[in-house]
């Protein structure tokens, strides 16, 4: 790292420790923090003036780097530039965990994938089609990089935590700050043996009961459909299909809040003219029997089918 080591006379063990920590720092933020610590514990006498000057110069250099990074990510529309849509999920994980690969499979994005670390340096947005609607999916730069976007993660509805082992999950949990729902995504499952998978599964089921988890591979496509389902479920919305009399149900469901009623569906598909509805029949989870006749106030459930007869 080119840092000339000058051990000052009378340096305390505290200083020695701070210096060691500084050399272990991975990110620029960490370096800044640890340089400040070194400065605070450096001996304050004539013979260490040179050292203190050197430390201050180095600190300024790193602070300048952070400023430039911030400006750069702003000008690229990163951080503050993301407009949050109704259903937003973020992809987080350490570098090379497969965030860009997953984003590209699930959405229209074309993020750069690479074998080298820290390839993604600004948050990348993709849209994932789901039913008749779209989910906003965002790759956040690696958690172990200087570009990690805390703000977007904090406000997202759902967080996909990409890991390959439990140790990574523990580390991420200690850094992650969010109000969103968490889904654990075990990536590169094609590289795991069946016994390895079973072991991970057992640990997650016993120690991480409150989280949903799924094994995925961007190579074999294992778990991709299951993950889409879990992402949608995490937003706590319902899907309702509509149909016309004597016809098949529509292919694309309408997305609604839980407990939405028939009137809301009618308003949506009849463009505000729910008074045109003469009769409504329903099939599916909220019906007592297939084809039950219901009123406009009837509350719907996920995967119901609604048929309107209009005047």
Ligand X SMILES: Nc1nc2c(ncn2[C@@H]2O[C@H](COP(=O)(O)OP(=O)(O)OP(=O)(O)O)[C@@H](O)[C@H]2O)c(=O)[nH]1
- Select from 59-67, 84-92, 98-106, 171-179 the region that touches Mg ion (CB under 5 A): 98-106
Using the contact rule CB under 6 A, the part of the chain among 38-46, 116-124, 283-291, 292-300 near ligand X is 116-124
Residue 22 · residue 5 · CB < 8 Å: no
286 binds ligand X, rule: CB under 6 A: no
User: Which helix H or strand E contains 106, and what residues bound it?
Assistant: helix 99-106
Phi, psi of 42, deg, nearest 5 = -65, 145
Give the separation between CA 120 and CA 222, rounded to whole angstroms.
24
Buried b (16+ CB within 10 A) or exposed e, 224-252: eeebbebbbebbebbbbbbeeeeeebbee
Q: Which does 158 bind (CB under 5 to 8 A by kind): ligand X, Mg ion, none?
A: none
* Span of 91-99, 160-168, 195-203, 266-274 interacting with Mg ion by CB under 5 A: 91-99
| Number of neighbours of residue 194 by Cβ within 10 angstroms | 7
Q: Which of 97, 120, 152, 158 binds Mg ion (CB under 5 A)?
A: 120
Q: Which does 175 bind (CB under 5 to 8 A by kind): Mg ion, ligand X, none?
A: none
Query: With CB cut-offs between 5 and 8 Å by kind, which of Mg ion, ligand X, none does residue 181 bind?
Result: none
Among 98, 126, 180, 253, binds ligand X (CB under 6 A): 98
Q: Tokens standing for 262?
A: 């028939």
Tell me whether residue 120 or residue 133 sits nearer to Mg ion (CB atom): 120
Q: Tell me: does residue 95 bind ligand X (CB under 6 A).
A: yes
Question: Closest CB to ligand X among 115 and 248?
Answer: 115
88-93: strand order across its sheet: 124-130, 133-139, 88-93, 158-163, 181-186, 212-215
Among left, alpha and beta (phi > 0; psi -120 to 50; other), residue 174 is alpha
In this complex, which beta carbon is closest to ligand X, that of residue 163 or of residue 294?
Answer: 163
- Using an 8 Å Cβ cutoff, are 35 and 25 in contact? no
Closer residue to ligand X in complex, CB, 6/191: 191
By the rule CB under 6 A, 178 interacts with ligand X: no
Candidates 73, 88, 97, 100: give the one binding Mg ion (CB under 5 A). Answer: 100
CA distances in angstroms from 236 to 181, 258, 270, 301, listed in the order given? 10, 7, 25, 11
Q: Is 48 in the site for Mg ion (CB under 5 A)?
A: no
Closest to ligand X by CB, 70 or 188: 188
Site string for ligand X, 194-223 (x = CB under 6 A): -----------------------xxx----
Quick one: tokens of 72? 């750069």
Q: CA-CA distance, 49 to 2, in Å (whole number)?
A: 20
| Residues near ligand X (CB under 6 A) | 93, 95-101, 113-115, 117-120, 142, 187-188, 190-191, 217-219
| Residues near Mg ion (CB under 5 A) | 99-100, 119-120
């Amino acid at each position: 790292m080119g840092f000339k080591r000058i051990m000052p006379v009378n340096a305390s063990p505290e200083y020695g420790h701070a210096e060691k920590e500084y050399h272990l720092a991975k990110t620029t933020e960490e370096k800044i923090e640890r340089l400040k610590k070194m400065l605070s514990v450096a001996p304050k006498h004539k013979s260490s003036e040179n050292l203190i000057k050197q430390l201050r110069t180095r600190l300024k250099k790193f602070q300048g780097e952070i400023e430039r990074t911030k400006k750069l990510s702003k000008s690229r529309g990163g951080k503050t530039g993301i407009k949050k849509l109704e259903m937003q999920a973020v992809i987080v994980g350490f570098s090379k965990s497969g965030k860009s690969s997953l984003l590209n499979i699930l959405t229209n994005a074309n993020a750069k994938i690479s074998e080298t670390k820290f390839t993604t340096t600004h948050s990348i947005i993709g849209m994932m089609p789901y039913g008749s609607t779209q989910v906003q999916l965002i790759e956040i730069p690696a958690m172990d990089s200087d570009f990690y976007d805390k703000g977007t993660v904090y406000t997202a509805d759902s967080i996909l935590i990409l890991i390959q082992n439990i140790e990574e999950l523990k580390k991420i949990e200690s850094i992650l700050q969010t109000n969103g729902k968490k889904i654990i995504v075990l990536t590169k499952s094609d590289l795991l043996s069946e016994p390895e998978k079973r072991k991970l599964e057992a640990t997650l089921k016993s120690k991480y009961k409150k989280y949903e988890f799924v094994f995925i591979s961007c190579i074999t496509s294992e778990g991709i459909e299951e993950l889409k389902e879990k992402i949608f479920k995490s937003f706590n919305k319902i899907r309702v299909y509509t149909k016309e009399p004597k016809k098949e149900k529509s292919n694309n469901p309408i997305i609604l809040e839980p407990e939405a009623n028939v009137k809301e569906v009618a308003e949506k598909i009849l463009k505000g003219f729910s008074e045109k509805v003469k009769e409504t029949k329903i099939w599916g989870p909220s019906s007592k029997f297939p084809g039950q006749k219901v009123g406009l106030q009837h509350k719907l459930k996920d995967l119901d089918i609604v048929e309107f007869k209009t005047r």
